[in-house]
Chain A
Amino acid sequence: MAEPLLEVRDLKVHFPTDDGLVKAVDGLTFQVMPGETLGVVGESGSGKSVSFLTVMGLITRKQAIIEGEVIFQGQDLLQIPADEMRHIRGARISMIFQDPMTSLHPFYKVGTQISEAIRVHQKASKKEAHDQAVEMLRRVGISKPDERASQYPHEFSGGMRQRAMIAMALSLNPDLLIADEPTTALDVTVQAQILDLIDRLREEFNASVVIITHDLGVVAEHCDHLQVMYAGKIVEYGTADDIYYNPHHPYAWGLLGSITRVDEAQKERLHPIKGLPPSLIFVPPGCAFHPRCPYVFDKCKVDVPELLPSDGHHAAACHLPLADKQRIYAEEVAART
């Protein structure tokens, strides 16, 4: 098997606050292989953004207590000095943020913002960088890129701003692109365009992609592997087929049951997860999901379940025996249709 591009081992990110220690990420282990797309799914506050901001070096030991290892191309990113990290960030790992309205600077022309990123990392004249920026805008599907490059962000629509962000993120040909809820603020039609664009560019640039989202519906056709996060931990990991057709964790069942499907034959009631995500200061003992889980039993309240693989690639952190999970999920699906 090939070397993973990114390997995160037992990552913990804890924020000290006046109210107590916020355990945003609590023992995260996963890897991203070269050329694959990994989907990271979870509710607000499940630690999905924080873990990747830590990978990017945007959350540092100044703000949080960080433990564990983040190995990227053989280097532990948590051990290297800040100025070295600055060379990696943007050039080899880059990120697209959720809100294209606020992540572009309103005072600078879009082309200038993209060429700035190029000039920080490469020896290029202003002219060369600008040409490169225009070329990137063309590749992300913006028409008349030379005119657009000299416009300001407010002259762009939401979808175009997100395209400009993608152009900026890919302008240095990174090996890993992290897309944090890239389409949440966008219309459905634009969402489809942007996800297709990310797919196409991943092949063109031969990069790995991480898509962070709260909506399992969005990423079905774009991800090779998915990991479902809850309260700072991975509760299920598997291929797209595993998660969508044979999910093993009750939380994943709840996420799937919450999605409104356009292809449902008649009006069906949704099956959401009851209650709210837990406070990350007082994480419930045992399985963090147990207060919301409909299948809870005594062991769940005491023992923290480990992420155990049921076969080579599919793993879930749940105390229910595998046979029970398969039976219960089959029943749930049957009850729905």
Chain B
Amino acid sequence: MSTQVTEEPTPVTERARTPLVRITGVKKYFPITRGIIFQKKIGNVHAVDGVDLEIYPGETVGLVGETGCGKSTLARVIMRLYDATDGTIEFDGQDITHLKGGDLREVRRNMQMIFQDPFASLNPRRTVGSIISEPFRLHRTVPKSKIRPEVQELMELVGLNPEHYNRYPHEFSGGQRQRIGVARSLALRPKLIVCDEPVSALDVSIQAQILNLLEDLQGEFNLTYLFIAHDLSVVKHVSDRVAVMYLGKIVELADGVTLYENPKHPYTGALLSAVPIPDPNLAAHKKRIILEGDVPSPIDPPSGCRFHPRCPNAQFPKCKEDEPELERMTSGQLAACHFPLPDRAIMDEGAETTSG
């Protein structure tokens, strides 16, 4: 993996030149209303506020950020589960921003989602077989008689016992349920799978199994992932490129190694320094950027750079007045910051020599 590439994915093939997903200037505001009968709009939650992102076929793009930064909303806008307030979403060269009905269903066949909570995302009153076969019945891609063998093949693929076809979700553990979710998302052989915190509800040992499974499936079916999580170490592990989100905007976009070695946005630096390292000596020597306070309210985001109230490097009045744009940094990635971090700001000098 080279360290200079940023916007474009690392495996450079001709096909990879055209993005599978391209979103431009996407905004999603949720109105806040007051009154019961005569509802009056009194403000907006700026959940996603102007995001450009391209996802190329076969790559994994990671999306990280704290709770409330808009990462799940962005994913749902891409999936067209929410309508964007502004901006365009292109999927496979087609503008899908305003698609409706049958056309939308046609597109949705190629994009599927895996949800965070394997306990809430499976209907407890339906058998595993009926849950996994639902996409077949909705899209009628498989004749009725073939559904059962298809589903059992899927179950085997994700590491479930096909004999458990008639069991109910409560009979499975968290990791197995997440496998059911993966099987369901694979049923229509989609091009894009959006994984919304697929492992954060699982034990570490089970997390690793699911991450490996996702990796294997990507190789086998040439899948493209948009992978959302709040844990940078998980995101970095699976992703070719990582986008860091803060209060509805992407503040940094880089490949995983560059991001770890050379974070430019102070927020990325803070996120990185908060990630626990399973190595007592290394952890003790790590530089820490502790963020004060919580994420500000997206109803009335701070002026200028949205991170300035919590930023340890903020310089006034520039950061408070000027909104920084995503710009190419010397180390190659895109970052939106007036005063980016110096090179290797987080990595400890001794870190590389003492690993393991």
Q: Which residues of A contact B (CB under 8 A)?
A: 43-44, 143, 157-160, 187-193, 196, 214-221, 240-241, 244, 254-267, 269-274, 276, 333, 336-337
Contact = CB atoms under 8 A, between A and B. Distances in A.
Given A188-B230, A254-B205, A336-B356, 8 more contacts: A192-B288, A196-B290, A221-B277, A221-B283, A259-B208, A262-B232, A262-B272, A267-B256
B175 to A, nearest CB: 7
Given A188-B232, A258-B208, A260-B237, A244 B294 contact: no
Contacts of A258: 204-205, 207-208
Interface in B24-51: none
B329 interface: no
Interface in B288-328: 288, 290-291, 293-294
17 contacts: A43-B206, A44-B173, A189-B270, A192-B288, A218-B276, A244-B280, A255-B204, A260-B207, A260-B237, A261-B277, A262-B260, A266-B257, A270-B208, A270-B237, A272-B207, A272-B208, A337-B355
A269 B198 CA distance: 18
A196 to B, nearest CB: 8
A266 B208 contact: no
Interface in B226-270: 230-234, 236-237, 256-257, 260, 270
B277 to A, nearest CB: 6
Contacts of B270: 189
B310 to A, nearest CB: 10
B174 interface: yes
Nearest to A42: B203
A186 to B, nearest CB: 8
Contacts of A269: 212, 215
B351 interface: yes
Contact of B236 (A192, A214, A262, A271): A262
B209 interface: yes
A192 B233 CA distance: 14
Contact of A220 (B176, B233, B283): B283
Given A43-B203, A188-B271, A269-B212, A261 B278 contact: yes
Interface string B40-66: 000000000000000000000000001
Nearest to B211: A270
**Residue of A44, A188, A191, A272 most packed against chain B (CB within 10 A):** A188
Given A261-B278, A269-B215, A44 B237 contact: no
A217 B291 contact: no
Contacts of A255: 204-205
A143 B66 contact: no
Nearest to A276: B173
Interface residues of B, number: 50
Contacts of B217: none
Contacts of B175: 276
Contacts of B141: none
Contact of B203 (A160, A188, A214, A260): A214
B218 to A, nearest CB: 12
B165 to A, nearest CB: 19
A187 B66 contact: yes
Contacts of B12: none
A259 B278 contact: yes
A214 B275 contact: no
Interface string B77-119: 0000000000000000000000000000000000000000000
Which are the 6 A-B pairs with shortest beta-carbon distances? Answer: A272-B208, A258-B208, A221-B283, A260-B237, A192-B274, A262-B233
B278 A216 contact: yes
B283 A262 contact: no
Contacts of A337: 355-356
A270 B212 contact: yes
A333 B231 CA distance: 24
A145 to B, nearest CB: 14
A185 B206 CA distance: 17
**Residue of A157, A187, A196, A271 most packed against chain B (CB within 10 A):** A187
B284 A221 contact: yes
A240 to B, nearest CB: 5
Contacts of A191: 274, 276
A257 B279 contact: no
B67 interface: yes
Contacts of B234: 260
Given A188-B271, A269-B215, A244 B279 contact: yes
A44 B67 contact: no
